[in-house]
Amino acid sequence: MKIVLKLTSHLISLILFTVFILILFIVVSARASGGEPEFLGYQLKTVLSGSMEPGIQTGSVIAVEKVNEGMTFEVGDVITYMEDEQRLTTHRITEVIENGEQTMYRTKGDNNENVDVTPVLAENVVAKYTGYTVPYVGYALNTINTKNGAFIFIGIGAFLLLYSIFTIWRAIAQVDLKTGRKEAVER
């Protein structure tokens, strides 16, 4: 029973430390680049509404591929586009509208009853959803971007660092104790 508790404790510590390092990497890379967080070449976007549920849950982080020159989209693709100067939206294409040299997309959230009123101009599309979603992490990333959230994040990081130092110190002390006993027995 003691071994199971010890293994569980180590596993939980490893998971927390890994999540902490991953979030730290994402936040630092976003701040350093001055833009959106990126991971393995994909931009990470936080979903703030339920318009795409159940496929994409509110609070999820999604991986999107930035739009490249000449990239085209078709009905069924999920795109992220600038709805206005301040707001990004991620919805599914329901219709492609060719109007001379201009392409527009009619979109709809999977959880919405009606299609979006205004078609999306092709130049307003910034990314295409890749199908990768991490539920609930968006809540943490949004919280970290606030003053209180950053304070909590730094506090958790400091706690994990101190816990790691304490664990290493304790392990070294146990090794020294065993070595001291072994030397005493050999004399």
CA distance linking residue 39 with residue 43, whole number of Å: 6
Phi, psi torsion values for 163, nearest 5 degrees? -65, -40
* 143-180 per-residue burial string, b: 16 or more CB within 10 A, e: under 16: ebeeeeeeeebeeeeeebeeeeeeeeeeeeeeeeeeee
Polymer length of the chain:
187
**What average pLDDT does range 106-123 have in this prediction?**
90
Active site residues: 49
- 117: DSSP letter: S
CA atoms within 13 A on the CB side of 142: 12
Strand partners, 43: 38, 64
pTM summary value:
0.63
pLDDT digits (tens, 9 = 90+) for 1-40: 677 777 787 787 777 777 777 766 666 665 565 556 666 7
184, pLDDT greater than 70: no
94, pLDDT greater than 90: yes
State residue 137's pLDDT score: 76
Strand order in the sheet with 38-39: 38-39, 42-46, 61-66, 125-134, 78-82, 88-99, 102-108, 120-121
For residues 23 and 162, the model is more confident at 162
CATH architecture group of domain 38-136: Ribbon (2.10)
pLDDT digits (tens, 9 = 90+) for 36-73: 666 677 877 888 888 888 888 888 888 898 888 878 89
The single-letter code of the amino acid at 16 is L
Q: Are 116 and 110 in contact (CB under 8 A)?
A: no
